[in-house]
Structures are given as structure tokens and as C-alpha cells.
Structure 1
């Protein structure tokens, strides 16, 4: 098992090298410039769309634009924000946070294009259900000769949607907080029992389809972001004297890479982009799977909604986690990894209540991610094999929860990183090639908005 884990980690490190960095960060920067900084110019307009100011009735999709955003956020606002950030900082130093910020700002443009395309080039599955996502964008936007690229995305998406990382970190934090006597004397037995309980709970939701997942996500996501914000704000208040020095460390280390083993600036940039991609998924292709199910018939409007995702996910939530870890010094403990680092920050700042509070927050973050990723994976299966195999995938997905719970952290992170890297290739290639059509649609959309304002 040690050799297998080392092989997976080696492949993951190799695939997340300069070429992929160029595709994700360089491609995203190209889209940001090509859009003429649209995410920044129309940020307020996007907020107004979320509030329903420009809502129109439609029966094309399955869920509202707001529910599409919260569904997408329910996957991105997960363990990547709590343990993924901790991994980034322990491996890349405080400066990794800076490059996560840069990646998120660039990722707003990437999300705008990829999710606009998901609505513009929606397709239907073999049951006649309206579907969206990179595979449909490739086939309907680039044409049938490009279908092998769509198949490639779907195959990678099946593995990228597996619940192994989230299940691993959720069971870890539960086992660490719960006393052994609560669930059994053996740690192995405890892991198994927790995994079974999670599997049953997730199964009750995911077999209800996207509408049940979206309804639940639209209720839980705003609540969990607010609760996490308040919790980490308290940690920052308790350690307020460390905030300014920590921020100085972030900016200094981002330019020097001193906290990285070997002092490589390139390594810290790659780590920041890698963990940001894992957290907000900009350019990976999962968010378009959710936004493609929106009832919204206006591609540009959906893209504006989607581009808020990286801002909420990385600029807000990941920053909260990172600063909490840095001000408490938890990231420097060599005996901790992943979610345990964030747990240590909570415990040190809030003795007595920190552990149960974080386990409650982690449970909500993780469960909503588990609900949504099952939908992503099932869409890839439906595209490849047909809708009759949707539930077959869900059974395998639930089995994956158990497998991930009892596997090593390094192994599961490596598998997800490899899958995300492979998914990003067709997603970014199609977005860059079809970007001119989104720009034309953008100009038309805002002309209509200006006309409406003049008539009003």
C-alpha cells in the first residue's frame, strides 16, 4: 500500500506541474483580460441577479439560479476550505494563501465563461432530461468531432467526483473528537461505524436527485457560511494582535517562498493554485454541471451568478480558515495534518466548545459536498452509459464513502488531484475556444439591460 500511495502522489505532483499551471492560471488570466475585467466591472450586477431582480420564468432547467449557485457552493464549500487550506499552508507556507487569492480572482472569469457555456450549449440525456456541463459544451459547441474530449472529461469526472477525500476528513475529525467509549474501543471499528452512518445519511438524500440536493443545499449553505464566519471571527478577535504580522508573513512569503521546503517560489505558486482549484473548482468543470441544471435561459446571467462562487469560496471562507490556522500557530505542528490542524486552531482558541463546534461545521460542509458530488458523478455516468446506470453509480458512490474513510490522506488527495487535473484540460480548452461566442452574447445581454433601464 505504501508503494501504491507513493506512486499516486508522484503522478499527482508530476501532473500538477508547469503545463497545468499555465492552462489553469494562464488560461484564466487570458479569459479575465479577454472579458475586459468583467467579473470586477459587473460584480454588483451579479449580486442583483442573485437577489432575483432580473428573474424570468422558465421550464428549461430543473432548479433556480440561486439554487444552482448554492448547489455548486455546497460542493466547493467543503473539506477543501477546512482541511485543503491547512494542507496548502503546511506544504506551501503562509504565502500559499496569497496565490490562492490570485487564483480565485482569475477563477471568477473562468467560472463566468464555463458556466455561461453550460447554459448556452445545454443538451439532453437519453431520457430527455435537460443537462449541462463541459461534455455537452464540447459536443454541442465544438461539434461531434470533439466528442472524444467530452468522453475524456466524463471518465475523469467519475473519479474526480468520488467522495473519498471528504469522507476521509469527516471521519477523521469525528474520530478525534468523539471519545473511544462512545463508539467502541477500537479505532478501526470507530472508523467503520462512522463511515456506515455517513453512507446511510448520504444515500437518503442522493437517491432523490438534483431537486432534493438543491433544496437542501439552498437551506444549508447560507447557514453554514454564516456560522463558520462567526466562529472564525471569534478566533481572530481572541488573537487580534497576530493578524497584522500574519498578513505580513503571507505577502512576504508569497514573494520569497521561504517557508517552503527548498525555498522554491514556483513550488509555492503551484501549491496555491492547486489547492485553490481543489477548493473553488474554477476551470475544473464541476460547477458547470450544477449551473447547467439551472432554469435560467440566459447564459450570461447564469455566468454572472456562477462567478461569485470563487469569491465566496476562496476570498472569504478559505481566508478565514487560513488566518485562523496562522494566528494560532497550528500549521507549525508537525504531528498534525489536514483537518486536524484546523481542529487544533479551534480547540486552542475556544477550549471546551471548539471541538464540538468544528465537528458540527465540518459535518455540514462535508455532507453537502457529499450530496452534490454524487450528482456530478452521476451526470458523467449518464453521458457515457445512459440514465439507467445513474443509481448504479450512486451505489458505488456510497461504497466509496466507506473506502475513503479507511484510506490514507495522501492517497485520496493524490487520486482527486489527478482527476481534477485531467478534468481541467477539456474544460479549459473548450472555454478558451468558445470564449468569442460568450463575449458576443455578453455585449448583447448588457445592451438589453441598458435598453430596459432607458425604458424604465
Structure 2
């Protein structure tokens, strides 16, 4: 085995070990308590804001709140919803899905808080576009500029050398070749041109595409899962029972499944859940800052629905499909396991895998768009607007090159930097906790009598 690979694997296990997972979930638990279960009590209000839109057309911002959410979802609804869920259940058994739900529940409070701060502390760049995200609220809210720059460097690393480029380009090229026998070179040229056309137009162009593609691809994938679950509806209650039971008892090995203990179910479920919805990592706030809104709390509420859609709905659909069809006990792993589940559920060795392939290609493409924008915000923070065009050209070169790279090492590096970017963001949220509570309390005082459990700072 490659010594460098072994070294990176050790670092990855350290970064994504219990300390970071406890920090991620612990921050979500703390904010949930301080904000009075805001993600449960005010989810209907948040959904109302999302679909109603901001009535103030003169509000500051570049795109609508819905478009900002779709931009964030374009990066979060990705291969993790298909591959990540399968990996978690393969390692931790059906119980991993329960811990994914729990991480998402608390993650909604974290996503609310970070997107609230993104709007509160945003500013305008030299091109007249909104700038915001962890680097701005850490610097302006806490005064810790070194911590803000650290976040920007890590996030830029994820955009250029991690989740934003190589794995996604490779997934699209492989899917097109294996399912449609399209030569890799042709797919690379078409993909690079499409990414260039969309991303060179800036956030308005990215948001416009995301607003159309994200709802379509999400509904397409959910519909496919519903068809499978509907065909096996009698097994769904038993599958849910197995998920909950396995979360607290572990699961013995059966068939191709490698039996899982409770701790493995917890770790794999939480890690893959966070990896999928990105709550606490600090990526979504960069998109939220572009929203046309005059209320940071309102945008925070809208943004937290992203975690609800990503994990509570889409990851749940994937997880239940894997359990109901028995695919989780097969010898398959990752995307192959999900393809096997759809093939079994739809009783078709062609239609099922084709649905997964199309879903993967859409998910990977929009993830590229979302992370291109995040990288642009980070490069602007670090070097100013003059660096945007060179960054975009470099990003396109990476997309073209990524299709032909071996991904074992790249996935490890991406995983490490992805975890590292969460640390400065979570520290910023903890330092600004009183600001989050104060802004929330003042907002709800104007709507209704303030919730009794929104504690004073």
C-alpha cells in the first residue's frame, strides 16, 4: 500500500474522528436548546417563506431567497445522497439512517445560525455583488481575521481540489461511458463547455440554472424512490422498525453485510449525514449571503429547509429503498448498491440503474456549479475581485483534468479539507452564539409574543 495514502488515511480518520463529530453535533444540540427547537416549531413558517418569497423587491441581494437556497442545494444534493447513504448503511447497518436523521435534526439549527450570520455580516464587492459567509462573520463578528482566512483557504481547497471538481467530473464521465457508451473525451469537452457557459455568468447565471435543475432532479429522484417503495409498500413499516431498532442494538452480519456495532452505526450515520447536508461546514452561508432579503432571520429559516430536503427527505428515500429491497445485505457497495436496489425494486436491470445514473449525473453537475461559486467567494475574500476570472479558468482546467484522475488519493484529500473547513466555522458560531439568539428573539418579538424558551443571552 502507498505510504502517502496510508498517511492521508490516518489524517482523515483523525479529522473525522469523534472530536469533530461531537463538535458538529454538539453545536447543533446547543443551538437547538438556545433557540427553543426552532427547526421543529418554525419549519412550517420557514417553508412558507421559501415558497412565498420576499415581498420587498428593493431588498439588498443578488438573487431571490429561493434561488439562493437552490444554489446551496446544488452543492449539497449530490453524490452523497446516493453513494454516501449506501456507504453509511454498508458500514453501520440500517441504524446508520437513524443517526443520519438525528444529525440532520440538530444540523438544521446549525444551518439556520450560520446562514443568519451570513446575511447579517455580508458586504458588497467592487463588482456590486454580495459577499458573505463564514470568513466575513468570523472576521467582522469576532475580530479573528486569521481564523477567517483559514476557513477561506480550506474552503477554496475543497472547491478546487476536492468535492467541487475531481470526484464530480469523474462520476459524470464514468456514468456516461458505462451507461451510454459515450467516449470519455467527448463527455469531458461537453461538460467543460457547459460549466463554462453557466459559471462565467456569475451568481445570477448559476442561481438561474440551479433554480430549474435542482427542483427537477430532486423530484425525479424522489419519484423513482417512491415507485420502488410503493411496489414494496408492505415492507416499509418493517424497514422503519429495523432502522430504529438497529440504531440502538447494532446488527449482526448477514449475507454480504459486515455486521455493525452501535458505535459504527452512530459514526457512519453522522459523518455521512453531515457530509451530505453540509450543516456546520460553512458552505451554504456563502450562497445565503446573496439572497434578496431584508431579514437575516428570515433567510436563516429558509436556508435550514435545505438540510430538511437533503437529508430528512432525499437521504431517507435512498436509505429506505436500500433496506426495503434488501440491497444493504448484498455484496455491492456505493452507487452499485443503489443501482442494485432500483433494479430489484423496479424489476428491471435497465430502468433502475438508468435512473440512478441520470440522478448521479445531474447531482454531480450541480455540485460543480455550487462549489464553483463557493470557491469564487473565497478567492474574492483572499485576493479581491481581480482574481475571479483567473480562478474560473483554473477551475475549468481542473474539471477537464479531473475526469482522467485516479480518485483514491483525491477523495482522501477532499475529505480531510472538508472536515478542516468546519472547525473555524463552528468556532465562529460558538463565539457568536449570543448574536444569533438576540437576532432571533428580536425577529419573533415583532411577529408574535416571543417564545418563552428563547432564552436571554
1:168 aligns with 170
* Residue from 406, 409, 412 that aligns with 1:411: 409
2:384 aligns with 386
1:6 aligns with 6
Deviation (angstroms), 1:127: 4.3
2:365 aligns with 367
TM-superposition CA deviations, 1:41-64 (whole Å, max 9, x none): 111111121122653233521111
2:26 aligns with 26
Q: How many angstroms apart in 1 are the aligned matches of 2:388 and 2:128?
A: 14
* Residue from 225, 234, 237 that aligns with 2:230: 237
2:193 aligns with 200
Tell me, yes or no, if the aligned pair for 1:16 and 1:270 is still in contact at 8 Å: no
1:340 aligns with 336
Deviation (angstroms), 1:95: 1.3
Tell me, yes or no, if the aligned pair for 2:108 and 2:308 is still in contact at 8 Å: yes
TM-superposition CA deviations, 1:85-138 (whole Å, max 9, x none): 112112222111111100000001001100000000112335453211000011
Deviation (angstroms), 1:7: 3.0
Q: How many angstroms apart in 2 are the aligned matches of 1:213 and 1:38?
A: 30
Q: How many angstroms apart in 2 are the aligned matches of 1:174 and 1:9?
A: 30
Deviation (angstroms), 1:8: 2.6
Deviation (angstroms), 1:298: 0.8
* Residue from 395, 402, 408 that aligns with 1:397: 395
Q: How many angstroms apart in 2 are the aligned matches of 1:105 and 1:321?
A: 18
* Residue from 218, 222, 234 that aligns with 1:225: 218
Q: How many angstroms apart in 1 are the aligned matches of 2:311 and 2:341?
A: 19
Deviation (angstroms), 1:424: 0.7
Q: How many angstroms apart in 2 are the aligned matches of 1:100 and 1:410?
A: 25
Tell me, yes or no, if the aligned pair for 1:49 and 1:55 is still in contact at 8 Å: no
Q: TM-score, normalising length from structure 1?
A: 0.91
1:191 and 1:136, CA in 2 relative to 1: closer, same or farther beyond 3 A?
same
- For structure 1, the 5+ residue unaligned runs are 184-189, 452-456
2:37 aligns with 37
Tell which deviates more after alignment, 82-91 or 339-348.
Answer: 339-348
Deviation (angstroms), 1:300: 0.4
TM-superposition CA deviations, 1:147-178 (whole Å, max 9, x none): 11111101110122232222233333333312
CA RMSD of aligned residues (A): 2.1
Tell which deviates more after alignment, 127-136 or 168-177.
Answer: 168-177
1:454 aligns with none
1:441 aligns with 439
Q: How many angstroms apart in 1 are the aligned matches of 2:320 and 2:3?
A: 35
2:453 aligns with none
Tell me, yes or no, if the aligned pair for 2:221 and 2:355 is still in contact at 8 Å: no
Deviation (angstroms), 1:366: 1.8
1:211 aligns with 204
Tell me, yes or no, if the aligned pair for 1:276 and 1:314 is still in contact at 8 Å: yes
1:63 aligns with 63
Tell me, yes or no, if the aligned pair for 1:169 and 1:339 is still in contact at 8 Å: no
Q: TM-score, normalising length from structure 2?
A: 0.90
2:313 equivalent to 1:316: yes
Tell me, yes or no, if the aligned pair for 1:131 and 1:292 is still in contact at 8 Å: yes
TM-superposition CA deviations, 1:210-241 (whole Å, max 9, x none): 10010111112222222211111111122234
Tell me, yes or no, if the aligned pair for 1:173 and 1:340 is still in contact at 8 Å: no
Q: How many angstroms apart in 1 are the aligned matches of 2:334 and 2:415?
A: 15
Figure out how many residues of one structure are paired with residues of the other and give that number.
439
Q: How many angstroms apart in 2 are the aligned matches of 1:437 and 1:102?
A: 25
Q: How many angstroms apart in 1 are the aligned matches of 2:74 and 2:430?
A: 26
Tell me, yes or no, if the aligned pair for 2:53 and 2:64 is still in contact at 8 Å: no
Tell me, yes or no, if the aligned pair for 1:256 and 1:263 is still in contact at 8 Å: no
TM-superposition CA deviations, 1:302-339 (whole Å, max 9, x none): 001011111111000001111112222333333x4322
2:149 aligns with 151
Tell me, yes or no, if the aligned pair for 1:94 and 1:259 is still in contact at 8 Å: no
- For structure 2, the 5+ residue unaligned runs are 450-457
